Every structure is written in structure tokens, then in C-alpha cells.
Amino acid sequence: MRFRALAPAFIATAIMLAPLATALAQSSTDIPNLPPSSWKPERPIEFVVQAGAGGGSDLFARIMADLMTKEGLVNVPIKVVNKPGGSGAVAYAYVNARRGDPHVIATATSSYLTTPIQGHSPSSYKDFTNVAVLCVEDYVAVVRSESPYKTLKDLVEAARQKPNSIRIGGTSVGSSDSILENRLEKAAGIKLNYIVVQSGGEANAALLGGSVDLAGPNPSEAAPLIAAGRLRPIAMFSPERLENWPNVPTAREQGFDVTLEQHRGVIVTGGITEQQSLYWQNVMAKLFQSDGFKKYMSDNGLRPLLRIGKDAEKYVAEQHQYYAEILTELGIAKKQ
């Protein structure tokens, strides 16, 4: 394993604070000034998705592939290839086998980092060229509308009085759901009963049917059920309130310092030249500014966050450090 989960604590702390510093220094949507690239694709592009058709990553890739062609950003055909399996391990092993080929790109989200940390993937983020991060998804705490808990504070109070009495539904240990639970337990000093479900859909069903009391989906996953009055949002795990959800207070406001975001980015195979990387950086920066991509982000509740080239590498490294630390604490990071 390449990451340093057991690095001295002070280094970890310093890096932990880094996201804050960069967030202050750099606005989330600044378009960097990039020199044009001398390289151009010579063959069709293979755009690998680390999940099956119909999911969030698939949608992200298909919209991007469509826009890159329509906006004339890429002048060769783009083929979207789904390689689901092993929480990304299958897809990234496939991409890494094509090392040095700038015609192979892939989507990346939190599993891109968390799966290798758990030792389930032979390739890590350092094996690839992290050209761009385009947006992030937030997380929201939801309860069913008949629930006695009106705020996160109510719920934390109940959990304090009776540990393990509140059931929270989320996907497998190591997923962002489980990381969120761990952060909330730590920040509030409580113990929740974590019920592992297989998908966000199953979590929603369990919540509606009363098998669990709380879940932490992405706002877009919960929005229809909230709009229909079936679920109630009690806290947003974003640094600030979301534009579209001005009435939902953040966890921070309620006294629990828990934030979590899941990035959506694009990677290219490792071992490509500077110019080839620059080509993709240019494409991604232009794609980000297109109306089609802005519409996609607002339709799907995504928060714009642009990091290109070196900034993307830095963002990914920071996120990696953050996840590595939590997964080590959860006892599921692979020891070096």
C-alpha cells in the first residue's frame, strides 16, 4: 500500500487543516488560466465508469460524454464503458492496465479512494493522473416525518440517554455513510446502531418502513421523499447551508462539527505526458463552464467545485488522507 495511514499524528493534523486553508484561499468555481495543449486525441476515447448503468456515476459520465461531443471540446468519438464491481476495484484495475494511454479516462468518486485504503484494490490514486474535480455531493440527515426528532439535537439527546437505541441505515462499512456515522458519533459523543443496507434505495425503504430511524443520503436521493412530506431533513453535513435548502440548518450550527462531501472527478491513466494531461485539463475546465454542465449540477443537487491539474491532485491527496485516517480508526484500513 502506498498511503501512509500510520504517519505521525502531527503531519496528519497539519494536512487535515489544509482543506480549510485552501477553501479560504481559493473560491470553489475559479477557472484557472491554462495554456493550450499541443496534443490531441488520435483515437476514440474510452470513458470508464466504475459503476453500472443508471447510477450517479453513470449519469455523470454520460452527460459529460454528451457535452464534450456537443460542445466540440473533444473531436473524436467517446465511448462510455461500464465496469462495475468491487466498489471500483475492477474498473481502476482495468484503467491501470492501459497505463500511458491518454485515450482512457474514468470517473472517480469517494470509492476511488476508500476501496484502495481498505486494501481491496491493487491500484491507488497515485497510479493515475487526477486531472479534474468538478463538483461535490453533500449529505443530509433525514428521519421519517412521524419521527419525534425535529432537530439533530433532539436525536442526539435521545441517543445520549439510551445508547444504541437509534438505528441509522447506511451502506457497507467503509462507505461514506459509515464514515458519516462515525464522525457524528464522535462529534456528539453518542453510540448509534448502524444497520448495513445494500443501496440508497434500500435505506429509503427501511426509513419509511421504520426499520431504521435515521439515514444520511445525498440531498438529491432524499429530495423527492422530502418534497412529498414523507421524510424530514434535520441537519445538513455541509460547511454552510445549501442554496436550495435554506431552511435546513447545518450540523455545525446545531453544535456538532461534522462535515462530509463526496467529490466527482475525472482521471486519466498514469504515465501520460505533460501535454496530454494539459489537454484533458483544458477540456474539463471548458466543460465545467458549459450551460449543459451547470444544468446537470443544479438538477442533481451537486455543489460546483472546480479543481484542475495540480489543484485536483492536491484535493484528491487531502481527501485520501482524511478517509485513510477515519478508516484506520474504524479498523478497516489495510495495514502497511
Q: Which residues contact other proteins (rule: CB under 8 A)?
A: 52-55, 58-59, 62, 66, 80-87, 89-90, 93, 118, 120-122, 164, 167, 172-174, 193-199, 201-202, 204-206, 208-211, 223-225, 227-228, 230, 299-300, 332
Backbone torsions φ then ψ of 94, nearest 5 degrees:
-65, -45
Nearer Cβ to other proteins, position 230 or 314?
230
Ramachandran region, residue 193 (left: φ > 0; alpha: ψ -120 to 50; beta: rest):
beta
Nearer Cβ to other proteins, position 79 or 310?
79
Minimal distance in Å, beta carbon 58 to other proteins?
7
Spatial CA neighbour of 315 closest among 115, 51, 113: 113
Nearer Cβ to other proteins, position 49 or 236?
49
Minimal distance in Å, beta carbon 134 to other proteins?
18
Helix then strand then coil, in percent of the chain rounded to 5, is: 40, 20, 40
Minimal distance in Å, beta carbon 63 to other proteins?
8
Which amino acid does the sequence have at 2? R
Which residues, 6+ apart, have CB-to-CB distance to 246 below 8 Å? Answer: none
Minimal distance in Å, beta carbon 165 to other proteins?
10
Nearer Cβ to other proteins, position 214 or 251?
214
How many contiguous H segments (helices) and E segments (strands) does the chain have? 11, 11
H-helix or E-strand containing 223?
A: helix 219-227
Minimal distance in Å, beta carbon 194 to other proteins?
7
Spatial CA neighbour of 47 closest among 75, 74, 82, 21: 82
Nearer Cβ to other proteins, position 184 or 278?
184
Minimal distance in Å, beta carbon 89 to other proteins?
4
CA distance 276 to 309: 11
Q: By three-state DSSP, how is residue 138 classified?
A: coil
H-helix or E-strand containing 265?
A: strand 262-269
Nearer Cβ to other proteins, position 89 or 106?
89
Nearer Cβ to other proteins, position 13 or 164?
164
Minimal distance in Å, beta carbon 226 to other proteins?
9
CA distance 257 to 271: 39
Spatial CA neighbour of 306 closest among 12, 26, 16: 26
Inter-residue contact 26 to 311 (CB < 8 Å) = yes
Inter-residue contact 266 to 132 (CB < 8 Å) = yes
Minimal distance in Å, beta carbon 30 to other proteins?
29
Nearer Cβ to other proteins, position 222 or 283?
222
